[in-house]
Every structure is written in structure tokens, then in C-alpha cells.
Amino acid sequence: MARVIFITGGARSGKSRLAEELALGFGAPLAYVATGGAGDGEMAERIARHRARRGDHWTTVEEPRDLAGALAGVDGRFNATLVDCVTLWLSNLLFAGNDSPQILESVGKLTKLFPLLTTPLVIVSNEVGLGIVPDNRLARQFRDLAGEANERIAAAADEVYVTFSGLPLKLK
């Protein structure tokens, strides 16, 4: 069974940087499973910055919805796999028409895969539940889904970190 490391935190808190550092500790070659797509110019710029920062040690696999399938597909081919990020994956599932039970079933499929993996896995997610209660149903649904998914992934992970202002705190 491979080690599973889960990293959560707020926007621009250093999650991705920490995840990349931890994955690099396993040595190249490395897989980067990207769940977000370049839906606009700003997102395309973010993706380009992330790719440039990662460098040549990484192979990028873009998978917006079938995260468990993508992980099964890269398992054993790399020294570590990094997933960035769970909340974009949840958004993709939600906007594809999945309801909350279906999405949480996908989260369960993901966590059930953890003990079967042979490649160490680093997973990044956003912590979205620290702010005010959103004023619309969709935003509340997303906040609740993200909280539930993060809780389930953290419970199944071997190590859990939260980042604040670029500083990691190990929780588990």
C-alpha cells in the first residue's frame, strides 16, 4: 500500500507548493493529475505558471471527472502522483449534472482506491468552509460537498496537512 498525503488550506496558502515539494521527495518521474481546465485566459495563465514551476520531472494528465480512473491509470508508472485539486474535481462533477449523493459516491470510489495504490499519492484540496454561509443554494451545496469530501479523504489518508500563509501544519 502506498502512502497517501492530503493537503488542504485556503486560496493562495501554499498548498500546491507544499504538495510539489513532498512529491519531489519521492524522486522523478512524477505524475501530475490536473482536474482543472483552462476555461478562460486567467485560468490558462495559472496553469502555465504551475507547469513552468514544476519543470520537466512531471508528466501531466488532465482528468476533470474520472479521478479514480486517472489514478488507476498512472499507478505504478511513476515514483509519486500529485492531484491538484479536489475542489475543482467536485465543481466539474457538480456542473456535469451530478447530485450530492452521486458526487460523494465518487469520493468513496476514490478513497477505496487508496489501499490498492502502489505509487505514493499527494492530494490537494481547498478548505472552503471557514468563511460566511453563502447566500445561494449552489454555493452552499458546493461548500458542504467540499467539506464532506475533505473529511472523507483526510480520514482515509496517512498524513494530513493544512497550510496557512505559506506555512504547513501537520494534522495527522
- Cα(172)–Cα(167) distance, integer angstroms: 16
Instruction: State the average pLDDT over residues 82-103.
Output: 96
Q: 106 falls in which pLDDT band (50, 70, 90)?
A: very high
- Cα(52)–Cα(20) distance, integer angstroms: 12
Q: Look at residue 40 and tell me whether its pLDDT is greater than 90.
A: no
Q: Look at residue 142 and tell me whether its pLDDT is greater than 90.
A: yes
Q: Residue 57 catalytic?
A: no
- Cα(66)–Cα(159) distance, integer angstroms: 23
**Of 163, 74, 62, residue with least CA distance to 120:** 74
pTM for this one? 0.94
3-state secondary structure at position 105? helix
- Cα(166)–Cα(29) distance, integer angstroms: 26
Side chain identity, residue 12: R
- Active-site residue identified among 6, 18, 50, 126: 50
